[in-house]
């Protein structure tokens, strides 16, 4: 008999658990290698990635809740805000905060604007229809009425004259994108900011996806803090700064503008809660990783990566225009493309075909007068693969043209258009999901290999019906894993 202490852990050994994680990860899209053209960003710099992962692990358990307990995290945050300020022409006196992502930065920009006008009982914000849906989320969370203004039908950029007309005494914020996610174009920021400044209203520039790229490209009119009237800018580090997920920055022209998203509470028996952002306990991992990666890549490195991604974007756009049946929706201002088809085929079939050939492209539904498109986010690491991508796209498009556009079952399409999915009971909803090709036995969500019929059907739905249907899908996907049977 030995009296050695038995190990405290009672589950499988670490190696086995890691193997389980790897098996699960194998079902995901690849994050590196340049073949996933949405959601992920790949610099192609293996040492920067390794550094980011090491810094992430080093600070994973550190807590940004209290800057006096973890001063290193406050220092890193201040360094990153200073770095972004230099890139975005921030004036003396600017301030910022590190958030968990673009959506949190936008939520806080809207919150600060709303709180900056406490006399208004029914505040609103004016935004172009191309603005990221995070603004609509902020509107819905924070009780700020969104006044959505059509973009110019040709350029797909914000229409400042129409936005000026939409501004009224309840407006607390005016929004511009640099660039828009869906179409990759930069709004006329100077005009939008001027119309806001003329009425003493804040103007937020959403540079979540472009803020680390556009400053290194020289073909654009000014859109940063160099434009008088721009009061805040959001820029995500976990996008084109190529840092691990979990960090965005929100910069304000001055400290007064930030006040509305600072929070303190001493009205409870614990520590006085003091936050600049929505999170309270906040892992130091993503921040440390962002600090390390940005420091390692450096300004010249980012300039090279931005030019590389931009060259790849232009090369890809030129190649697309040479493919029959396919064209680029609008000339790209940055490193994002939206492709569309003529009526010989459809983007949903293209997305399936490209995925079957190992390329992820993101279908976007029709919106107003804009047809369905295929969204591409190009990373620096996509550059070497552009010729292969274009070969695959050429073959996929030819096959899609031979097959013709995917047809929507007219009966089902008409049903969805007329239906109020929010009014369906669970059994009826289960039937609808099965009819839409989204569920299998017992009503569990099962996505088909070919998503084109489902996407074409969703595309035919009014947006509200699409939202309700997909929320139903999400609700059913987000359920506890069934216990294994004994």
Ligand X SMILES: Cc1ncc(COP(=O)(O)O)c(C=O)c1O
Q: Which residues are near ligand X by CB under 6 A?
A: 101-103, 106, 132, 134, 177, 181, 206, 208-209, 236, 248
Q: Helix, strand, or coil here: 307?
A: helix
> Omega of the bond prior to 275 within 30 degrees of 0, cis?
no
The least CB distance from residue 249 to ligand X, in Å, is 11
CA distance linking residue 144 with residue 124, whole number of Å:
5
How far apart are CB 484 and ligand X at their closest, in Å? 34
Instruction: Give 225 or 429: the residue with its C-beta nearer to ligand X.
Output: 225
Contact of 459 with 407, CB cutoff 8 Å: no
Of 51 and 250, the one with the shorter C-beta distance to ligand X is 250
Residue 240 or 429 with smaller CB distance to ligand X: 240
The minimum distance between CB 248 and ligand X, in angstroms, equals 6
- For ligand X, the closer CB: 105 or 397: 105
CB of 395 to ligand X, least distance (A): 29
Of 233 and 393, CB closest to ligand X: 233
Find the residue with minimal CB distance to ligand X.
Answer: 102
Asked if 234 and 109 count as a contact pair (C-beta separation under 8 A), the reply is yes
Question: Least distance in Å: CB of 209 to ligand X?
Answer: 4
Q: Please tell me the distance from the alpha carbon of residue 141 to that of residue 261, in angstroms, as a whole number.
A: 14
Q: How far is CA 354 from CA 279, 346, 367, 377, 441, in A?
A: 38, 13, 23, 15, 28
Two structure tokens written together for 484: 């294994």
| Distance from C-alpha of 129 to C-alpha of 385, rounded to nearest angstrom | 33
CB of 65 to ligand X, least distance (A): 21
3-state SS, residue 97: strand
How far, in Å, CA of 226 to CA of 215, rounded? 12
Residue closer to ligand X, measured from CB, 223 or 429? 223
Comparing CB distances to ligand X, the nearer of 209 and 465 is: 209
State the number of CA atoms in the 13 A half-sphere of 433 facing the CB. 28
Please name the residue ranges forming H helices in 342-486.
347-356, 386-403, 410-418, 426-435, 452-460, 463-477
Least Å distance, CB 486 to ligand X, is 41
């Amino acid at each position: 008999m030995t009296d050695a202490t038995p190990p405290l852990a009672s589950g499988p050994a670490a190696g086995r658990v890691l193997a389980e994680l790897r098996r699960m990860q194998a079902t995901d899209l690849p994050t590196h290698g340049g073949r996933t053209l949405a959601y992920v960003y790949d610099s192609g710099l293996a040492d920067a990635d390794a550094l980011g992962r090491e810094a992430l692990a080093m600070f994973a358990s550190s807590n940004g809740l209290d800057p006096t307990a973890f001063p290193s995290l406050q220092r890193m945050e201040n360094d990153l805000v200073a770095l972004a300020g230099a890139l975005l022409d921030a004036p003396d006196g600017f301030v910022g905060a590190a958030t968990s992502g673009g959506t949190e930065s936008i939520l806080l920009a809207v919150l600060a604007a709303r709180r900056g006008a406490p006399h208004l009982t029914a505040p609103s914000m004016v935004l172009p229809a191309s603005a990221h849906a995070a603004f609509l989320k902020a509107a819905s969370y924070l009780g700020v009425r969104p006044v959505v203004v059509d973009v110019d039908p040709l350029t797909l950029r914000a229409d400042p004259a129409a936005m000026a007309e939409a501004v009224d005494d309840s407006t607390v914020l005016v929004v511009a994108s640099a660039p828009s996610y869906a179409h990759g174009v930069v709004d006329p920021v100077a005009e939008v900011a001027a119309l806001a400044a003329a009425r003493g209203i804040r103007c937020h520039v959403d540079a979540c996806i472009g803020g680390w790229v556009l400053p290194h490209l020289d073909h654009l009119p000014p859109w940063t803090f160099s434009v008088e009237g721009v009061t805040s800018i959001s820029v995500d580090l976990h996008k084109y700064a190529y840092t691990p997920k979990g960090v965005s920055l929100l910069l304000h022209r001055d400290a007064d503008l930030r006040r509305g998203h600072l929070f303190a509470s001493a009205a409870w028996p614990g520590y006085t809660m003091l936050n600049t952002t929505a999170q309270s306990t906040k892992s130091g991992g993503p921040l440390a990783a962002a600090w390390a990666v940005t420091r390692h890549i450096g300004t010249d490195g980012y300039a090279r990566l931005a030019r590389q991604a931009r060259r790849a974007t232009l090369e890809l756009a030129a190649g697309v225009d040479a493919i029959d049946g396919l064209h680029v929706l609008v000339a790209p201002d940055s490193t994002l493309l939206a492709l569309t088809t003529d009526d010989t085929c459809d983007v949903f079939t293209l997305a399936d075909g490209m995925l079957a050939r190992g390329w992820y492209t993101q279908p976007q539904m029709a919106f107003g007068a804009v047809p369905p498109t295929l969204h591409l986010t190009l990373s620096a690491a996509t550059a070497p693969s552009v010729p292969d991508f274009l070969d695959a796209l050429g073959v996929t498009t030819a096959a899609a043209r031979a097959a013709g556009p995917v047809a929507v079952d007219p009966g089902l399409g008409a049903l969805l258009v007329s239906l109020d999915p929010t009014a369906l009971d669970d059994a009826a909803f289960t039937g609808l999901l099965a009819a839409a090709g989204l569920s299998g036995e017992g009503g569990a969500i099962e996505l088909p290999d070919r998503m084109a019929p489902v996407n074409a059907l969703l595309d035919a739905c009014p947006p509200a019906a699409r939202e309700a249907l997909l929320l139903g899908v999400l609700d059913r996907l987000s359920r506890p894993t069934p216990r294994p049977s004994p």
